[in-house]
Amino acid sequence: KSFLYKLWKGDVSSKMLNPRLQKAMKDYLSTNKHGVRFKGKRNSKLTGDQLFCELKERVNVKTIDGKEAPFSTLGWEKHVPQIPLGKLFTHGFGSCAVVMSAGAILNSSLGDEIDSHDAVLRFNSAPTRGYEKDVGNKTTMRIINSQILTNPNHHFVDSSLYKDVILVAWDPAPYSANLNVWYKKPDYNLFTPYVQHRRKNPTQPFYILHPKFIWQLWDIIQENTKEKIQPNPPSSGFIGILIMMSMCDEVHVYEYIPSVRQTDLCHYHELYYDAACTLGAYHPLLYEKLLVQRMNKGLQDDLYRKGKVLNNFDKRASL
Ligand code: C5P
């Protein structure tokens, strides 16, 4: 059976990836750039419902609040928004869409369905203009990595992509989550542009994720995977799914688990082909996808045709 079919069934391993991706994964394992020292157990065999409950219980969406060093000494309590991310929407959302940037969403005609959700999450520089039919045009929140803030090509300061939405930024920190070490040596220095943006746009909700949150997600992926996963942070996509799980009753994720439209086209908005975008090289993306597949409560047909998985709370799971 094909790789895609096996992925839909949750029955794949990294051994089925092409040799180039396998080599990249191995190299990341031996480099261990972020100093990951996993102390837990691997391969706990939780069911989808148990996994969902575990995530709901353990995962705490934490952002930099300016109360810890070095941020406290640098006066960051004044820089961060007064209202924490978790309190922005007191009653949360009913149904939410997480729109992945995969090329496979092209020609999906999912735009109207996506816009019908109460909140829509998008990633990095993924546009809506010109792609409305397939990806919709509503954006409630955008998750951006530190390269978006620092690479002039993205025009973070001027681009309309980053206006009138909630912004959540992140940067790979050491596994120790030592904020002093991270502040001195971030992957890309997001701190300066963050403070500048906050000064210029004080009413726009804009947060930086706490490294503890990112690595907590990594631990959970590793605990629930038999193989050794890449010792690098999860992808923005997985981070986004977990943030929405904390704010929404239902999370509808589009083109994370690929549909029948699966393609090596990395992003729907860019002419660049690389299977690593869908299956992972740096990020433990394949393993993230296997967990999300395990928790899927949606119809199989929606998975094949829309590339959609549904994560919601099933009361039976708590019995
Ligand atoms: O590439 P970028 O990180 O901006 O894309 C947003 C997210 O969409 C990724 O972090 C990944 O989780 C998901 N994605 C995917 N397959 C692709 C491209 C992106 O699953 N081909």
Question: Would you say residue 42 lies in a domain?
Answer: no
Measured torsion, CA atoms of residues 51, 31, 103, 137, in degrees rounded to the nearest 10: 70
Question: Would you say residue 92 lies in a domain?
Answer: yes
Q: What atom of ligand 1 comes closest to residue 265's alpha carbon?
A: 21
pLDDT of residue 43: 85
User: Splitting the chain (319 residues) into consecutive groups of 10 residues, what average pLDDT does each group show?
Assistant: 94 97 98 97 92 94 98 98 95 96 98 98 98 98 98 97 98 98 98 98 98 98 97 98 97 98 98 98 98 97 98 62
Beta bridge mates, 311:
251
Q: What atom of ligand 1 comes closest to residue 100's alpha carbon?
A: 8
Question: Would you say residue 39 lies in a domain?
Answer: no
Note the pLDDT tens digit of each residue in 175-189.
999 999 999 999 999
Please list every protein residue whose CB sits less than 6 Å from any atom of ligand 1.
100-103, 123-124, 235-238, 256, 266-267, 277-278
Instruction: Tell me the CATH number at 236.
Output: 3.90.1480.20
DSSP per-residue codes, 87-110: GSSTT-EEEEEEE--BGGGTT---
pLDDT of residue 315: 53
Q: From CA 99, how far away is CA 80, in angstroms rounded?
A: 27
Tally of domains within the chain:
1
pLDDT of residue 137: 98
Question: Would you say residue 257 lies in a domain?
Answer: yes
Sole residue written with tokens 């393993």: 287
Q: How large is the greatest C-alpha to C-alpha distance in the chain, in angstroms?
A: 58
Do the interacting molecules here have an ipTM over 0.95?
Answer: yes
CB atoms within 10 A of CB 103: 22
Question: Would you say residue 38 lies in a domain?
Answer: no
How far, in Å, from the CA of 134 to the mean position of ligand 1? 16
Lookup: tokens for 245: 């799980």
CA–CA distance from 29 to each of 37, 131, 133, 232 (Å)? 12, 37, 40, 9
Q: Which domain holds residue 213?
A: 3-32+47-314
Note the pLDDT tens digit of each residue in 23-33.
999 999 999 99
pLDDT of residue 44: 86
Question: Would you say residue 212 lies in a domain?
Answer: yes
Helices (H), the chain: 3-9, 19-31, 48-58, 76-79, 111-115, 132-135, 146-150, 179-184, 191-200, 211-223, 236-247, 276-279, 285-294, 300-306
Percent of the chain with pLDDT over 90: 96
My answer on whether omega of the bond before 70 falls inside 30° of 0, hence cis, is yes
One-letter amino acid for residue 319 of the chain: L
How far, in Å, from the CA of 29 to the mean position of ligand 1? 21
Residue 206 host element (H or E): strand 206-208
Taking CA atoms only, the protein residue closest to ligand 1 atom 4 is 124
Q: From CA 110, how far away is CA 103, in angstroms rounded?
A: 13
The end-to-end CA distance of the chain, in Å, is 36
How far, in Å, from the CA of 76 to the mean position of ligand 1? 31
How far, in Å, from the CA of 60 to the mean position of ligand 1? 22
In this structure, are residues 174 and 211 in contact, taking their beta carbons and an 8 Å threshold? yes
